[in-house]
Amino acid sequence: MNNKKIYTQAVIILLAASIISSFWFPIEIPFSIFIGGILALLNFRGLSKGLTGLTQGQAIKTRLIILNTLRLLMVLAVLFILMASRTVNGLGLLVGLTISFLVIFKEGWSYARKG
């Protein structure tokens, strides 16, 4: 699967959704959409790097488990800080996360159909 294609498509769609939503909603919503999508893509990148080692025949190591747990905790901490400071809107974050998820799902689906 081509991760660069996923990142490019997701960022273009996130930018478009943020720009379009800025015409109808306060600035928190477009900002939240973009931040939610970027956090999802960063999380996907970390997950992808961790799983790449497993598919190349490396054994599951304690280090991999700890790094994945720390990555998840960092994402949750960033979300908590942004939500607590009222910098972002929860619905906007959800929209951004969903956009990134759908792009990843679409690319995974097309990759699985080819293979």
How far, in Å, CA of 113 to CA of 99, rounded?
Answer: 21
pLDDT at 49: 80
pTM of this prediction? 0.83
Q: What is the pLDDT of residues 53-68, one digit of tens each?
A: 666 655 667 777 788 8
57: left (phi over 0), alpha (psi -120 to 50) or beta: left
Q: What is the mean pLDDT of residues 65-72?
A: 84
For CA atoms 2, 92, 31, 76, give the dihedral sign.
negative
Q: What is the mean pLDDT of residues 35-56?
A: 83
Q: What is the pLDDT of residues 87-111, one digit of tens each?
A: 888 899 999 999 999 999 998 898 8
How far, in Å, CA of 13 to CA of 71, rounded?
Answer: 25
Question: What are the angstrom distances between the C-alpha of 46 and each of 40, 86, 107, 112?
Answer: 10, 26, 17, 21
